[in-house]
Amino acid sequence: MKKQNKYWIPLVLACSLGMMTNSAMADVDALVKKCADCHEKDGNSKNSDTPSIAGMSSAFFLESMKGYKTGSRPALKLKDKKEDMKDVTNKLSDADVKALAGYFSKQKFTAFKQEFNADLAKQGKQLHKQYCDKCHSSGGTSTEDDTGILAGQPAGYLKYSMDNYANGKREMSKKMATKFKAMQEAAGNDGITQLIHYYTSQQ
Ligand code: HEC
Ligand code: HEC
């Protein structure tokens, strides 16, 4: 008997694990459909007011979704849509959000194609180096800081999120707030515009 058990238990475990993976995979497809209308199936947005969510770290993704659900992060209602991110996250379980984080973090981020002013981008690059690169490293392209992806995001979304920070509608960590304020004191509101041109110039 003992000998039989030795092979039987791993076999049962392997079968049930296999079934779990199959059903989880099917779920992800259905879940992604709920996002594709605004973020596209591969997470690379085609709308200037909607961020691309491809390739961002799972930690940042989970934190963002939690923020919308609890209301600590404001949600924008797009003109032609019925739902905002608060409505979207309200309908998702923790397991759904985890599965989506796994899926979108594996998609390849593609920079949004858009116009920019090269002179403003140059000034923005200096500001970024001095005040932002510490936590948004490699010019805002890195995902290792768990702070999202800034380079190549659409200008409409960048302006919306920076304005939210500037008006206090979206909370910043204390350390980011210190740097953000120092940047504003040094460059004024033009600083935000210059930073946006720098991030959008990275294509
Ligand atoms: C009706 C349009 C719409 C749908 C559907 C939608 N989103 Fe969003 N999403 C947005 C908009 C607009 C923003 C940015 C504005 C804001 O903060 O509300 C956003 C922001 C996000 C962010 C934050 C990104 C960042 O860089 O901070 C994440 C993560 C996200 N969405 C994930 C999802 C997922 C996952 C789904 C599907 C379950 C989904 N969204 C469905 C419109 C949508
Ligand atoms: C001390 C670290 C730190 C510094 C310095 C910092 N940030 Fe951040 N930043 C964060 C963290 C952490 C987040 C994610 C948390 C959140 O959602 O608010 C973030 C998020 C953001 C986002 C939102 C990204 C998204 O997709 O939603 C923008 C835009 C941003 N930062 C811009 C800046 C700019 C511009 C500067 C420089 C003036 C800056 N940050 C400096 C830590 C930092």
Ligand 2 within 6 A of CB of 134: yes
Integer CA distances (angstroms), 116 to 70, 141, 154, in order: 35, 17, 11
* Tens digits of residue pLDDT in 54-85: 999 999 999 999 999 999 999 999 999 999 99
* Tens digits of residue pLDDT in 120-139: 999 999 999 999 999 999 99
Q: Is the Cα torsion angle 92, 95, 101, 102 positive or negative in sign?
A: negative
Contacts for 60 with CB less than 8 Å, ≥ 6 apart = 143, 146, 147, 148
Q: Residue 18 pLDDT more than 60?
A: no
Nearest CA owner, ligand 1 atom 23: 64
Question: What is the distance in A from the centroid of ligand 1 to the CA of 84?
Answer: 8
Ligand 2 within 6 A of CB of 132: yes
CA atoms within 13 A on the CB side of 149: 28
Under the banding of pLDDT at 50, 70 and 90, the label for residue 1 is: very low
Q: Residue 3 pLDDT more than 60?
A: no
Ligand 2 within 6 A of CB of 173: yes
Q: Are 134 and 183 in contact (CB under 8 A)?
A: no
Return the ∠ at Cα 114 (arms to 166 and 144), rounded to 5°: 60
| pLDDT of res. 5 | 58
Ligand 2 within 6 A of CB of 192: no
Ligand 1 within 6 A of CB of 59: no
Q: Residue 4 pLDDT more than 70?
A: no
Nearest CA owner, ligand 1 atom 8: 85
| pLDDT of res. 27 | 87
Question: What is the distance in A from the centroid of ligand 2 to the CA of 123?
Answer: 19
| pLDDT of res. 25 | 53
Task: Measure the CA–CA gap between 56 and 147, rounded to whole angstroms.
Answer: 9
Under the banding of pLDDT at 50, 70 and 90, the label for residue 199 is: very high
| pLDDT of res. 158 | 98
Nearest one of 45, 18, 4 to 155, comparing CA atoms: 45
Ligand 1 within 6 A of CB of 39: yes
Question: What is the distance in A from the centroid of ligand 2 to the CA of 92?
Answer: 26
Exposed (0-12), middle (13-18) or buried (19+): which is 104, by Cβ within 10 Å?
Answer: buried
* Tens digits of residue pLDDT in 143-159: 999 999 999 999 999 99
